[in-house]
Structure 1
């Protein structure tokens, strides 16, 4: 039946070619072209129909061309050897100028070598494997996309939905294996781990496929990337649906090799793919494409009358555009004088050695590579020996069809619409901005991408006892031998597991068991997850930078940091000059300066006010100045401005003296204890011995700071710390304990008196849990821990395990009473200085005004006196007035001058408060 169909097909193609030739010029030169396809495959049938239509359309549009293509179609029957034999036959017996095909990657390698040897271009629109590189095969042209072009789209899709692991399922052929290295590399760049690779032979039976699927079901990962031929993929999905792997929680991503043919697959196969995502080459819509699709559907039914209806795929469009590119190149080269050069004959030779070389092959290849036009598939450009990376669609299989979810381009990444104005890379946002997806099992919830299989192993949780059993205590059950763990760290973990939306069976495994190969340190404990001994380790594990190289950490559930625990000593200072310490030297100096300044201001004010009590020798004035500064005496201070200055000054003295008294009292009574060491550098300089918790990373930190190994001692329990600190460094103990803040709070809760905490000295991220890198549980456990630590549950857990003593004052850094500085009383100094300075300034203005006024009056009086004396000299003396004596006296009272004129006859005196009085004549 297949042979009869092939004969009918060849007759139809010949009829098409003959019709095209009749429309062409009678003198048109024939260009022989070989076509090698699997005529029984879906891709081969689609391509043959498209090729026949392409010949008809091209020569109908170009009737004046001097060349025409003559096709020699061969069926490879999906056999690599047969495909090679057909290629040799076409080259030797038909001297074809080019070969279109083959269909498979495994066939293309050998045939491309033949093309290189004979200088005949090999053009394939189906070979997509990256292992077949046009750069290494100079006469091979890929009229399709390289499979590696779609790996970035796949990685962006996985990253968009937040999946951390993915398992590729591919066929064991050149086509299946070729994409895997590129896919894994791109996924790892996005921190997506590939824990397993499922390889299925091309000849695998349904039973073999079922066994492989069962194996996948026992694993945690639920994200699968399917890359195989459409026939094998159909069997795979039918079995996956049968085994329940197309239900809620599973994720299937199909590469374009299958998705490009999804419209031509059997409806039952498409239904089995429901919920899967697919990568598909995007073809721009056009009127030309719509018209061609209608014609193609009709022709396909004629070419394949016994086959079920099929739809045009991208492979049919690429084959159509390939014929147009080849026909245009042949016309430009003009292969009228095509010749083949025979190699030098040898006595013993094979068919390959006698293969002739085309003289026009290089020129034809050059013109093919220069072919650039807008075809049915979009922009058809072979200048790079293969089609350039274009646009992909992400589709969602629903029912017997599919719908668009988003688009991917190299410039914008994954977007919901191609014409999106502000396109951003999807995987940078928290939720993908794509069209909604109906996932397997008709679920609208985004799958987590992994599950803990019910029939799988339990989660192995590594535990170890801590020196502080409030955090974690591990014991072995004497009867069952099971490991039991209790403590704050355990409670937080168990509460987080309860919140997870899926069941996670787990078991505790004691660290230090025969399975461990460690030295007992916390670094070795964390490293066990990298060695796959445990799935997760819990406890009082500090999140450290160096540990992130081989493990991932959850969010912290405690605060942390490194501080020192040191003994305290009695610091009651019995020094004779203790009374000076409440104030700093600057404060003392400032107070003395303002003390003197205030006295000078008050003395000046009283002096300007003509207060006779302030007059006298300098020692007496200094005494009065001090007296003014300390007291307010109404009999001495007479001016109003002086009283204002004194009131402000007394307020200043009241505040300063009360603060001085309070600070001195605090120094003598409250602050009696001080740490023996205030900084870690003091320990380095004095060569003291320090201690740390055995197994902690603090030892390495101390060594980095410069401590010698002999000066560092490890201890296990809080009682060991207490004994070592109480003895001191000189008596075989330690001078300080370097420890983490959560531990120090527990230590001081039981040893409050005699010790204090200095620091924190160094910061740390806190305590968390460690998992193997790439473990998909990390995100869910961290999210659940945030729920626990941010609610009342954490408060109850801390009350259960952490009973801190509230009356202990040594938890935290010790801060004592410090001396009062000038800055503490800056406002008072400004107020006092402003009051004194402004009062002095006002007094000087008043004094200057009065002095100016007196000078003016004196001038007027002197002028009047002169006029009176002139009159007396000019007039004759009158009777009874001779011998009259006029007396003038100047007296000072309250700073003003008084002029008195006395008449000896009347014994009267007229005094005026002005600078001069009217003179009475005798």
Structure 2
């Protein structure tokens, strides 16, 4: 133990000796006249926690800086002034420092409202103002002599919005203090919320001078709003009062969400324990400060000195980020002063009549101010707060902590960075920006000590029932029908739309919603004439939601928000069905087009001729009288259809042609049989009209439901307005027809048409769709937080079996009806394009065989062609050779029967056709 004491004494003596030498060196420099004193003004609120903390940190910063930089030729001398939390006092303090002390720079004030006036004075006198003011309305670009030594308040917007996105809240209420600091964040927050489809439902502005009764009244007003997510952006004094009243009125309970910004979160350690107790479950964001050994040692020294300088502090305070920024800003100013080589203060004054001079004119403009400004505007160094990086006069910050107020302190639950979003670590193992609950370090404990994520919205006491508007007098009762109970007179709504709505609201939402149906009738009528008028009642605050067969349309979405559609989309038409096509006597001709028939006939003749040419020389069955041989050509090719020809082919080329031809005939006959079978069996129902363009060209009347937007749609599609009729009874109008006061077709949305066809599917068929539409949806008030939850419920319902049960309940088909999905609207005849490949194969094969045969034939008779006989004699001899006849004459060039030498070529062709005349 003695040895340790000896070592400790020795170490302490060495440290004291070093400090003494440094002090003597500094004293020598001062006595020698080498040190230049630079006067710096310090404006702060001495009676506030932040003001006291800032003063202690700045004094320690000067001591620490010059203890390690004793060779600097400049020394900052602080001249503190108390702004007394007043704008006028802050401005007066700045003028006093400039006029009487001739300061070269001003540190502070800490409040944005005070800083605004002081910065204007600094711009006028060219004296840099280094302040912790964070209001976005104060910009170094617009105020060249303003140095922001704290990150701008809008830098934390990304972290706040990420929290909102993580939990899918669609509406928030912003509470801020009534000054430039409070309102400065508003435009940035609104812009950042747009990409995540979240709205600022209400803005609550509270003045610094607001009484407790005013705050209570404002909170009672907020209770009447459905939104339960509140973002609070104000300074600590007002925030402390606010949260005491929040707890008092019962708004710090389960279901509520409170998010606080950096100005409050960073000072939680300095708050009274009573105020902390009123904030249990609050989420906050604050600038991240990296931990270090130097920071820990500084905290210990600062705490000891702070208590000594402020013995009257009622509760223990901890050093926060504002104190660290103040500490670094003094260091930055000291380094900039040394770099600029500041000399004695000198202010030049304008050449004006002294009688009209103001205090600022008397002060003049600092000659050293521009040099000092350039030295400090872009400064970067590592300090206790991490990296202190000034870029164009503004401190940069990119990493924020997400904390949860639990017990007597705030607990870290995650980090946020612009690159990675929310994460558990500063350097996460991911490459993209994410905002998932799984990215948090641990689950958040919400107000009311609940681990259940608040939905962000709830029915208020004044709105305990959802007002559901429903149409009256709808012709399609399968969708919705409204009646009144005969005894209780209560409104009873039934139908497909009502069942879907009830299933979603009662079983698929994560919370309970009470609602009541309210019928709507158009003025001067007992039914709902216009659905546009019905939906507009939501904008008039008559209904909270409209349920029914309401189509999602662009003009309606301007004043309401629709859920996702719960029915299929599209506009189609229904037309009468023709008589059974199988009764047509010429139906056997319909499977093939006329071109197809003609080409097949031509192929029969061509194939028969080619086979006859190939077989005539070597096959006696292909000889005989001319008429018999012509008949043989047709018989052989046509008999291939039924594979009934008895003639045998002996030539290999003929066999090749016959094989290919049989394959072609097999494919064509199979296709013909299949097409004819379909026409005689499946295609028993055919629409009278298959295309809406044909309906326009024919000039027939077309119908649409009375009061529907389909009428305007038809006119925009090119229909003559005089040919468009509004009808109520679809069956009656279609039965009459276009020429008898009815219509040729009905155009409507697919859900209506399917309901109609469930009763009349044997008489009509649906053709289309002819136009795209979104479908039916539920309409809610603009910005209603129910919309995403109900949409998710509809999606879940459509993916399950319950939706099929609801459809079967209201739209079950008559047993005698044929499923419309099984009806083939059109059957096209088989065309040449479908078989051009086959035809090409048989054509090329036949021509190939024919060319080979002719080549062989000419080769065998080349001696005749080389003789000196006349052309007439050569032809006769080749014909003789083709028919394989010899007359035994020794005259090589015996004259043939043909006497006209000019007809030689036609003679061989005639002989080839007529063959042997014996």
Could you tell me the TM-score, scaled by structure 2's length? 0.81
Are 2:442 and 1:436 aligned?
yes
Are 2:30 and 1:25 aligned?
yes
Deviation, structure 1 residue 229:
1.8
Deviation, structure 1 residue 487:
0.7
Q: 1:161, 1:432 within 8 Å by CA — same for their partners in 2?
A: no
Deviation, structure 1 residue 587:
3.3
Q: How does 1:637-656 map to 2 (within 5 A)?
A: 637=648, 639=650
Assess, with a 3 A threshold, how the Cα gap between structure 1 residues 267 and 437 changes in structure 2: closer, same or farther: farther
Are 2:281 and 1:275 aligned?
yes
Q: 1:745, 1:804 within 8 Å by CA — same for their partners in 2?
A: no
212-221 vs 47-56, greater mean Cα deviation: 212-221
1:912 corresponding residue in structure 2: none
Are 2:231 and 1:221 aligned?
no
Q: Distance in 2 between matches of 1:183 and 1:575?
A: 74
2:168 corresponding residue in structure 1: 162
Alignment counterpart, residue 110 of structure 2, candidates 103, 108, 113: 103
Q: How does 1:319-334 map to 2 (within 5 A)?
A: 319-334=326-341
201-210 vs 835-844, greater mean Cα deviation: 835-844
Q: Distance in 2 between matches of 1:357 and 1:650?
A: 109
Alignment counterpart, residue 751 of structure 1, candidates 757, 760, 774: 760
TM-superposition CA deviations, 1:74-121 (whole Å, max 9, x none) = 222323333333333322322222221112222222222333333332
Q: Distance in 2 between matches of 1:237 and 1:671?
A: 76
Are 2:716 and 1:704 aligned?
yes
Structure 1: gaps (5+ residues): 1-16, 856-891, 898-922
Q: 1:539, 1:769 within 8 Å by CA — same for their partners in 2?
A: yes
1:544 corresponding residue in structure 2: 553
Q: 1:277, 1:396 within 8 Å by CA — same for their partners in 2?
A: yes
Assess, with a 3 A threshold, how the Cα gap between structure 1 residues 623 and 286 changes in structure 2: closer, same or farther: same
TM-superposition CA deviations, 1:311-340 (whole Å, max 9, x none) = 211111111111112222323344433234
Alignment counterpart, residue 151 of structure 2, candidates 141, 145, 148: 145
Q: How does 1:424-573 map to 2 (within 5 A)?
A: 424-427=432-435, 433-440=439-446, 441-465=448-472, 466-476=474-484, 482-499=490-507, 500-512=509-521, 520-570=529-579
TM-superposition CA deviations, 1:521-543 (whole Å, max 9, x none) = 33333343344432221111222
SS of alignment partner, residue 199 of structure 2: coil
Q: Distance in 1 between matches of 2:74 and 2:583?
A: 117
Q: Distance in 2 between matches of 1:217 and 1:704?
A: 49
Q: Distance in 2 between matches of 1:505 and 1:684?
A: 49
Assess, with a 3 A threshold, how the Cα gap between structure 1 residues 592 and 478 changes in structure 2: closer, same or farther: same
SS of alignment partner, residue 550 of structure 2: strand
Are 2:799 and 1:790 aligned?
yes
1:677 corresponding residue in structure 2: 689
Assess, with a 3 A threshold, how the Cα gap between structure 1 residues 821 and 276 changes in structure 2: closer, same or farther: same
Q: How does 1:174-189 map to 2 (within 5 A)?
A: 174-189=180-195
Q: 2:522, 2:529 within 8 Å by CA — same for their partners in 1?
A: no
Q: 1:23, 1:63 within 8 Å by CA — same for their partners in 2?
A: no
Deviation, structure 1 residue 182:
2.4
RMSD of equivalent CA atoms: 4.0
Q: 1:606, 1:637 within 8 Å by CA — same for their partners in 2?
A: no
Deviation, structure 1 residue 595:
2.8
Are 2:383 and 1:378 aligned?
no
SS of alignment partner, residue 521 of structure 2: coil
SS of alignment partner, residue 201 of structure 2: coil
Q: 1:587, 1:822 within 8 Å by CA — same for their partners in 2?
A: yes
Deviation, structure 1 residue 281:
0.9
Q: Distance in 2 between matches of 1:252 and 1:611?
A: 105
Deviation, structure 1 residue 545:
4.1
Deviation, structure 1 residue 739:
0.9
1:240 corresponding residue in structure 2: 246
Q: Distance in 2 between matches of 1:660 and 1:212?
A: 83
TM-superposition CA deviations, 1:191-238 (whole Å, max 9, x none) = 211111122332445444343333323322111111122233233333
Deviation, structure 1 residue 285:
3.4
Q: Distance in 1 between matches of 2:667 and 2:23?
A: 117
SS of alignment partner, residue 540 of structure 1: coil
TM-superposition CA deviations, 1:243-291 (whole Å, max 9, x none) = 4433332222110001112233334433433332211112233443333
Q: How does 1:788-827 map to 2 (within 5 A)?
A: 788-809=797-818, 811=820, 814-821=824-831
SS of alignment partner, residue 283 of structure 1: coil
SS of alignment partner, residue 233 of structure 1: helix
Assess, with a 3 A threshold, how the Cα gap between structure 1 residues 844 and 493 changes in structure 2: closer, same or farther: same
Q: 2:26, 2:71 within 8 Å by CA — same for their partners in 1?
A: no
SS of alignment partner, residue 492 of structure 2: strand
Alignment counterpart, residue 47 of structure 1, candidates 45, 54, 63: 54
Alignment counterpart, residue 713 of structure 1, candidates 717, 722, 725: 725
Q: Distance in 2 between matches of 1:66 and 1:647?
A: 112
Q: Distance in 2 between matches of 1:638 and 1:683?
A: 57
Are 2:244 and 1:230 aligned?
no
Q: 1:463, 1:510 within 8 Å by CA — same for their partners in 2?
A: yes
355-364 vs 475-484, greater mean Cα deviation: 475-484
SS of alignment partner, residue 200 of structure 2: coil
SS of alignment partner, residue 596 of structure 1: helix
Alignment counterpart, residue 134 of structure 1, candidates 111, 123, 140: 140
The number of residues matched between the two structures is: 834
Q: How does 1:44-443 map to 2 (within 5 A)?
A: 44-125=51-132, 127-307=133-313, 308-341=315-348, 346-347=354-355, 351=359, 354-427=362-435, 433-440=439-446, 441-443=448-450
Assess, with a 3 A threshold, how the Cα gap between structure 1 residues 607 and 225 changes in structure 2: closer, same or farther: same
Q: Distance in 1 between matches of 2:28 and 2:532?
A: 83
Q: Distance in 2 between matches of 1:309 and 1:376?
A: 21
Assess, with a 3 A threshold, how the Cα gap between structure 1 residues 814 and 244 changes in structure 2: closer, same or farther: same
Q: 1:406, 1:414 within 8 Å by CA — same for their partners in 2?
A: yes
48-57 vs 806-815, greater mean Cα deviation: 806-815
Q: How does 1:835-874 map to 2 (within 5 A)?
A: none
Assess, with a 3 A threshold, how the Cα gap between structure 1 residues 40 and 638 changes in structure 2: closer, same or farther: closer
Assess, with a 3 A threshold, how the Cα gap between structure 1 residues 195 and 584 changes in structure 2: closer, same or farther: same
558-567 vs 787-796, greater mean Cα deviation: 787-796
Alignment counterpart, residue 687 of structure 1, candidates 677, 686, 699: 699
Assess, with a 3 A threshold, how the Cα gap between structure 1 residues 310 and 515 changes in structure 2: closer, same or farther: farther
Q: Distance in 1 between matches of 2:467 and 2:365?
A: 67
Could you tell me the TM-score, scaled by structure 1's length? 0.81
Deviation, structure 1 residue 825:
6.7
Q: Distance in 1 between matches of 2:378 and 2:765?
A: 82
Q: 2:582, 2:680 within 8 Å by CA — same for their partners in 1?
A: yes
Q: 2:419, 2:433 within 8 Å by CA — same for their partners in 1?
A: no
Q: 2:347, 2:363 within 8 Å by CA — same for their partners in 1?
A: no
Q: Distance in 2 between matches of 1:725 and 1:233?
A: 71
Are 2:621 and 1:613 aligned?
yes
Q: 1:164, 1:776 within 8 Å by CA — same for their partners in 2?
A: yes
Deviation, structure 1 residue 836:
8.6
Q: Distance in 1 between matches of 2:633 and 2:522?
A: 88
TM-superposition CA deviations, 1:117-162 (whole Å, max 9, x none) = 333322212x112223334433332211221222232222212321
TM-superposition CA deviations, 1:831-878 (whole Å, max 9, x none) = 988999999999999x99xx99xx9xxxxxxxxxxxxxxxxxxxxxxx
Q: 2:522, 2:528 within 8 Å by CA — same for their partners in 1?
A: no
Structure number, greater radius of gyration: 1
Q: 1:560, 1:740 within 8 Å by CA — same for their partners in 2?
A: yes
Q: Distance in 2 between matches of 1:764 and 1:147?
A: 45
TM-superposition CA deviations, 1:446-494 (whole Å, max 9, x none) = 3222122345342121211332111011234566654332110001001
1:770 corresponding residue in structure 2: 779
Assess, with a 3 A threshold, how the Cα gap between structure 1 residues 626 and 83 changes in structure 2: closer, same or farther: closer
Deviation, structure 1 residue 513:
6.0
